[in-house]
Amino acid sequence: MLEIIKRSTQKIKDWYLVYELTTNLYMLEPWEKLLFNSMLLVSISLFIWIMMPK
């Protein structure tokens, strides 16, 4: 059970690293990363909310 948690955690860290490298976030300061990620999350949430059937 513990091994599954370790592998899952490592996989999430790997995905986040790929995300940072792909979007060049690794060059930003922590507050800039937070701002960018927050804006991205809000944008995706709004898009999903708009596209949901009524």
The reported pLDDT for the residue numbered 40 is 96
54 pLDDT more than 80:
no
Q: What is the pTM (predicted TM-score) of this model?
A: 0.72
The answer, yes or no, to whether residue 6 has pLDDT greater than 80, is yes
Of 20, 48, 21, 45, the closest CA to residue 33 belongs to: 20
Q: Tens of pLDDT along 9-50?
A: 999 999 999 999 999 999 999 999 999 999 999 999 999 999
Nearest to 43 by CA among 54, 32, 33, 35: 35
